Amino acid sequence: MDTVTRKQLKITACKARMGIIEGVANAKSGHPGGSLSCVDIITYLYFNHMNVDPANPKDENRDRFVLSKGHAAPALYAVLALKGFFPQEWIRTLRKSDSKLQGHPSIQYTPGVDMSTGSLGQGISAACGMALGAKLAGKSFRVYTVLGDGELEEGQVWEAAMYASSKGLDNLVAVVDNNDLQIDGTCAEVNSPYPINEKFKAFGWNVIEIDAHSFDEIDAAFNAAKQFKGKPTLILAKSIKGKGVSYMENQVGWHGTAPNAEQYEQAMAELSASLKELEA
Amino acid sequence: MAEVIKMATREAYGKALVELGEKNDKVVVLDADLAAATKTGMFKKAFPDRFIDTGIAESNMMGIAAGLSTTGYTVFASTFAMFAAGRAFEQVRNSIGYPHLNVKIGATHAGISVGEDGASHQCCEDIGLMRTIPGMTIINPADAVEARAAVLAAADYNGPVYMRFGRLAVPCVFDDSYKFEWGKAVTLCEGKDVTIFATGLMVNEAIEARKLLAAEGIDAEIVNVHTIKPLDAEAVCRSAVKTGCAVTAEEHNIIGGLGSAVCEALCESGAPVPVVRVGVNDTFGKSGPAVELLHLFGLDAANIAEKAKKAVSLKK
């Protein structure tokens, strides 16, 4: 990845982080931790990888994105707004009763959302269906889905994983946002999904492991996945929950809590400083 | 007297899918390792490229159906009612119902007429479960003719539909001249003393019950409610108000299904009409030959006639 692209992606991702904090703080509820951990990947997909057109969000040949860990909706919304799918002002309406931005993604409400999600384990199945649709129609669009690591405890994920490799859905890429924290504690404490890489390999997937916050590694992984034929690809992305906001990083308490006014100011100050540094 | 033709509605479902497949190349059929039983195997044979077996994983199948439908296909997803509405309830609710996707759920082996397999496979709760999902259409055809018509109509409708089919071969009530009207309750016989609202295989039993009642001087009106949701409340109320009392007849728990739907509509209309429900009486099924079980659980003409007399006696 060239320096300019990398710098631009970092700037966009930082702005998206500000969007996450803005949305969640205004809503006084939502899931900032897991949004901040996967926002670099979602930014990369929409700004440097997927074939999407904000002016034509239902284009039948577009690449699809399914946020299987639907509680990270603030990250998706922040990126969709920056990409131009809807006005930036919508971010401040997140979770309000007259908002187009529901607590979890809904295709009924929000342009650019390809699948309604929120109940864990279901998004990956829908993504399989979309990948299958591309194969049936002989179309070249690709399908991307992001799962949480805790989400792997849902049995449906493994039904889908078995199916995707059984049918050779190599137009499907699933990302596991491995921040290692779920509501009740660390993944290992609650119900260990590890070893995630070995499990997906055993299920017949092409597995790539990366740092979820390195755009070079993200870029290399998604490009490799595109070249890989015959199997779906699983990108195991080691991430930091709450990444980018110092007091939220690696803190399980920030899974589903909104920052108060003071915490909001601090988060925005930190992200503004990061943005200034990146833009310098 | 012409010989009565018997066919299971699942059989008609399989045939109708093939018919659809011939005229619409956007029709795709999914099954969860039950193609031989659900009769989607007929479609598989005719259109192997558009048949997808997801294996024994109904939750994943519903999700796949949802995703596939977003790419422009009309998807029929099939398994037994127990697994379609029961096991995969939340996938149907969240991945199909909430986004209002164009997925048709072909649920076979509904009710206790599954027979020998017993209670684990005899789903008498599916209508109740599906009825609570906003935007879900529920069709429970009376016979093979209506089943075929419903499948063809479902393909022309854009949105989620739950279609309920049976395992048991049942008499054909209708002939080929039958016109299926989406969402309409159909008056099969006019009467003045009691209305019998029936659905599925109970429609034929209701027609038989009418004969039993006639012998006792009771004139029953028979209304076939093939579309349980949205309920044709106007037709239901009109008929019940006219006759002054009603019986509902369904191969489903008396809680949550047609009986509940009819009671809700009548209560809200303000009409003081007594309703007696015939159905599986809030109990689990059990093993046995299907026809024997239907009699054992009171899902027959004799019990409908009995309950019709009770309804008449409740009239003010």
Residue B3 pLDDT class (50, 70, 90 cuts): confident
A159 token code pair: 């039904």
**What CATH number matches the domain at A3-279, 3.90.420.10, 3.30.565.10, 3.40.50.300, 3.40.50.970?**
3.40.50.970
Three-class secondary structure of residue A164 per DSSP = helix
Task: Say yes or no for a CB contact (<8 Å) between A66 and B67.
Answer: yes
Cis peptide before A32 (omega within 30 of 0): no
Burial class of A127 by CB neighbour count within 10 A (0 to 12, 13 to 18, 19+)? buried
Q: What is the mean pLDDT of chain B?
A: 97
For A178-210, the pLDDT digits (tens) are: 999 999 999 999 999 999 999 999 999 999 999
Task: Say yes or no for a CB contact (<8 Å) between B60 and A159.
Answer: yes
Bridge partners, B52 (sequence order): B30
Task: Say yes or no for a CB contact (<8 Å) between A156 and B50.
Answer: no
A213 token code pair: 């916050």
Query: d(Cα A263, Cα A247) in Å, to the nearest integer?
Result: 9
Q: Measured between alpha carbons, how far is residue B50 from residues B47, B108, B146, B215, B265 in Å?
A: 6, 20, 25, 52, 41
Residue B316 pLDDT class (50, 70, 90 cuts): confident
Distance of residue B123 Cα from the nearest chain A Cα, in angstroms: 22
Q: Are B73 and B26 within 8 A, CB to CB?
A: yes
Query: d(Cα B146, Cα A40) in Å, to the nearest integer?
Result: 54
For B179-238, the pLDDT digits (tens) are: 999 999 999 999 999 999 999 999 999 999 999 999 999 999 999 999 999 999 999 999
**B92: chain A residues, CB-CB within 8 Å:** none
Task: Say yes or no for a CB contact (<8 Å) between B94 and A119.
Answer: yes
Could you list the beta-strand ranges (E) of chain B. 6-7, 27-31, 51-53, 74-80, 103-108, 137-139, 161-164, 170-171, 186-189, 194-198, 220-224, 227-229, 246-253, 275-280
B290 token code pair: 């299907």
Q: Which residue of B has its CA nearest to A119?
A: B94
Task: Say yes or no for a CB contact (<8 Å) between B67 and A132.
Answer: yes
**A123: chain B residues, CB-CB within 8 Å:** 63
**B55: chain A residues, CB-CB within 8 Å:** 162-163, 166
Query: d(Cα A68, Cα A119) in Å, to the nearest integer?
Result: 8
**B72: chain A residues, CB-CB within 8 Å:** 60, 133, 137
Residue B2 pLDDT class (50, 70, 90 cuts): low
What residue segments make up the domains of chain B, in order of their start?
A: 6-171, 186-314
Please give the backbone phi and psi of residue B115, each rounded to the nearest 5 degrees, phi first: 85, -125
- Among B249, B70, B10, B11, residue whose Cα is nearest residue A128: B70
Three-class secondary structure of residue B53 per DSSP = strand
Q: Are B246 and B275 within 8 A, CB to CB?
A: yes
Nearest to A129 among B57, B65, B98 (CB): B65
**B62: chain A residues, CB-CB within 8 Å:** 125
Query: d(Cα A134, Cα B68) in Å, to the nearest integer?
Result: 9
Check if A130 contacts B (Cβ < 8 Å): yes
Query: d(Cα B285, Cα B114) in Å, to the nearest integer?
Result: 10
- Among B162, B141, B281, B116, residue whose Cα is nearest residue B204: B141
- B12-27 mean pLDDT: 98
Q: Are A176 and A147 within 8 A, CB to CB?
A: yes
**What CATH number matches the domain at B6-171, 3.40.50.1000, 1.10.8.60, 3.30.365.10, 3.40.50.970?**
3.40.50.970
SS (H, E, C) A72-133: HHHHHHHHHHHHCCCCHHHHHHCCCCCCCCCCCCCCCCCCCCCCCCCCCCCHHHHHHHHHHH
- B82-103 mean pLDDT: 98
- A234-246 exposure pattern, b = at least 16 Cβ within 10 A, e = fewer: bbbbbbbbbbbbe
- Among A202, A208, A214, residue whose Cα is nearest residue A243: A214
- Among B20, B74, B31, residue whose Cα is nearest residue B56: B31
Q: What count of CB pairs under 8 Å joins A to B?
A: 107
What is the CB neighbour count within 10 angstroms for residue A70?
27
Query: d(Cα B165, Cα B152) in Å, to the nearest integer?
Result: 14
For the cut 60, the answer to whether the pLDDT of residue B286 exceeds it is yes
B58 assigned to active site:
yes
Check if A169 contacts B (Cβ < 8 Å): no
Site from B25, B29, B69, B70 to mutate, A interface, most A CB atoms within 10 angstroms = B70
Q: Are B231 and B262 within 8 A, CB to CB?
A: yes
A196 token code pair: 């995630």
Task: Say yes or no for a CB contact (<8 Å) between B70 and A126.
Answer: yes
Judging by DSSP bridges, how do beta strands B137-139 and B227-229 pair with one another?
antiparallel
**B59: chain A residues, CB-CB within 8 Å:** 121-122, 125, 155-156, 159
Query: d(Cα A86, Cα A89) in Å, to the nearest integer?
Result: 8
Nearest to A127 among B49, B55, B67 (CB): B67
The whole-number pLDDT of residue A276 equals 98
For A77-94, the pLDDT digits (tens) are: 999 999 999 999 999 999
DSSP A26-50: HHT-S-HHHHHHHHHHHHHIIIII-
For the cut 60, the answer to whether the pLDDT of residue B1 exceeds it is no
Nearest to B63 among A64, A139, A160 (CB): A160
- A130-148 mean pLDDT: 98
The whole-number pLDDT of residue B307 equals 98
Whether domain B186-314 has CATH 3.40.50.300: no
Q: Which of B11, B19, B58, B146 is catalytic?
A: B58
Cis peptide before A105 (omega within 30 of 0): no
